[in-house]
Structure 1
Amino acid sequence: MNAAPSSPQRAVVLLSGGLDSTTVLAIARAAGYDCACLSFDYGQRHRAELQAAKRIANALGAYRHQVVQLDLRPFAGFGGSALTDESIAVPTAGLSSGIPVTYVPARNTIMLAIALGFAEVNQAQHIFFGANAVDYSGYPDCRPAYVQAFSAMANLATKAAIEGQLLEIHTPIIHATKAEIIQQGHALGVDYGLTVSCYQANDAGEACGVCDSCRLRKIGFQQAGLADPTRYQSAQ
């Protein structure tokens, strides 16, 4: 990692290791922000995305990458999602409408709350979050109204904001299609071969090719007119 900067343009970036959050990090860096990245080990099905996040933070010049330990699995009293409960199957039959079983209850709220505290302690007035309300986003905590409400709460809840240093939450891809996200990242030089988007990737970070996230990623690269660098578990 690079040395911590003295610039007032510090930002905290929520970095999962997937395509969307990587693009958001690239956007923040291109805009001149000095970025600290937060990733979360919350009991998800695999750790390949966390390994990807570490590679991406290094490749895109973050000055810090912090992995926060949470436990949202059933035996910790949470669960309720195919991403944290192995008794709930990851959907592979194709994209559908409504809120998917891969929705993790309160995940984004928990992560943003931790990012809020991290930003205040590190004197950062910006949080970048890869929320997306297009391309099959049935997640209630990715909507513009949710982000606006959290932003309002954040600026009522912190000492920094009360003293005049308001926090801004940036969601630069919230209205973009997957193809538009990929095209923007490609223009910024993002190596999407570093990313892991699959809900059930293996330990090597190879994607299943059939989960909802894989399907969206495939379609995105096709519509963007770019080669898909994803490594699959078998020929897709």
Structure 2
Amino acid sequence: MKKTAVVVFSGGQDSTICLIQALRQYKFIYCLTFYYGQRHKKEIDIARNLALKLGVQSHKFMDISFLYELTSSSLITNNLSDLEVRTHQDRSIPSTFVPGRNILFLTLASMYAYQLKSSVVIIGVCETDFSGYPDCRNAFILAMNRSISLGMHFDIVFKTPLMRFTKAEIWALADFLGVLYFVIHETITCYNGIKSYGCRKCSACVLRNNGLRDYLNNKSSVRQSLQDKTN
């Protein structure tokens, strides 16, 4: 078992699955949760409660709400215009995109890891499901990883366990880990701040719930697909 890792943790489906997996792979986990002025603070409380339930020994909260002064996004300005359902064909960048958010998350997480002498940062980004967020793509993660390693003169590794998985496959992973219903009922993804199945209307809820429905209706094929990607 490896020593330590820093997990960027939001209390959402993806980061919770990453955290649960990491707790089984590393001797010690440092959770790092950011408040960046998002539309609702409920996810901060949910992240705190989840970490406690999962037995996380170190959970740091960082206020970077100054992002509100630097950027524009419906996630931090309460502009509800982009909370409608988006299709898989729509490849435009949604107004819920927060420019620079993951750049800042990874930079600060790396600084924290450097201080802790931990060489691994885990983040639950995924490019295979539709999102439209350019900072969730593998090419960005690899470039950012190289830049920070060079700039800090520190051999740090960004791990993205969910990068190649669809939402259905991510639910299959939760089931494989034995935490499917825990993740369904205890995490928050909804842009309107509603836990579990959420408002069922915003893009985040539709993506999450469609993925769950796809997994439950096609368990054997989704599990096989997950297995093929992890072998």
- Per the normalisation by structure 2, the TM-score is 0.85
CA shift for structure 1 position 73: 5.3
> What residue number does 1:217 align with?
208
Please tell me whether residue 105 in structure 1 is matched to residue 96 in structure 2.
Answer: no
Query: Partner letter of residue 29 of structure 2?
Result: C
Q: C-alpha distance in 2, partners of 1:214/1:87? A: 17
Residue deviations 1:144-174 (CA, integer Å, cap 9, x gap)? 1111111111211225x2xxxx111100100
> What residue number does 1:174 align with?
163
Residue deviations 1:170-196 (CA, integer Å, cap 9, x gap)? 001001000111111122133111100
Please tell me whether residue 189 in structure 1 is matched to residue 183 in structure 2.
Answer: no
3-state SS in 1 of match to 2:26: coil
Query: Number of residues paired by the alignment?
Result: 212
Contact 2:120 2:156 in 1 (8 A): yes
Please tell me whether residue 66 in structure 1 is matched to residue 48 in structure 2.
Answer: no
3-state SS in 2 of match to 1:89: helix
Contact 1:37 1:65 in 2 (8 A): yes
Q: Which is helix-richer, 1 or 2? A: 2
Please tell me whether residue 49 in structure 1 is matched to residue 38 in structure 2.
Answer: no
Please tell me whether residue 200 in structure 1 is matched to residue 189 in structure 2.
Answer: no
CA shift for structure 1 position 50: 1.0
Contact 1:72 1:84 in 2 (8 A): no
Contact 1:13 1:36 in 2 (8 A): yes
3-state SS in 2 of match to 1:34: strand
Contact 2:190 2:204 in 1 (8 A): yes
Contact 1:81 1:88 in 2 (8 A): no
CA shift for structure 1 position 205: 7.6
CA shift for structure 1 position 143: 0.7
Contact 1:73 1:85 in 2 (8 A): no
Moved more, 42-51 or 26-35: 26-35
> What residue number does 1:116 align with?
110
Contact 1:182 1:221 in 2 (8 A): yes
Q: C-alpha distance in 2, partners of 1:103/1:69? A: 19
Q: Which has the higher contact order (CA 8 A, sep 6+)?
A: 1
CA shift for structure 1 position 61: 2.7
- Per the normalisation by structure 1, the TM-score is 0.83
Contact 1:30 1:188 in 2 (8 A): no
The answer for unaligned runs of 5 or more in structure 1 is 1-6, 227-236
Aligned-pair Cα RMSD in Å: 2.0
Contact 1:15 1:37 in 2 (8 A): yes
CA shift for structure 1 position 93: 3.7
Change (3 A) 1:200 1:90: farther
Q: C-alpha distance in 2, partners of 1:205/1:89? A: 23
Query: Partner letter of residue 106 of structure 1?
Result: G
Q: C-alpha distance in 2, partners of 1:197/1:24? A: 15
Change (3 A) 1:185 1:35: same
Q: C-alpha distance in 2, partners of 1:72/1:212? A: 25
3-state SS in 2 of match to 1:223: helix
Change (3 A) 1:141 1:94: closer
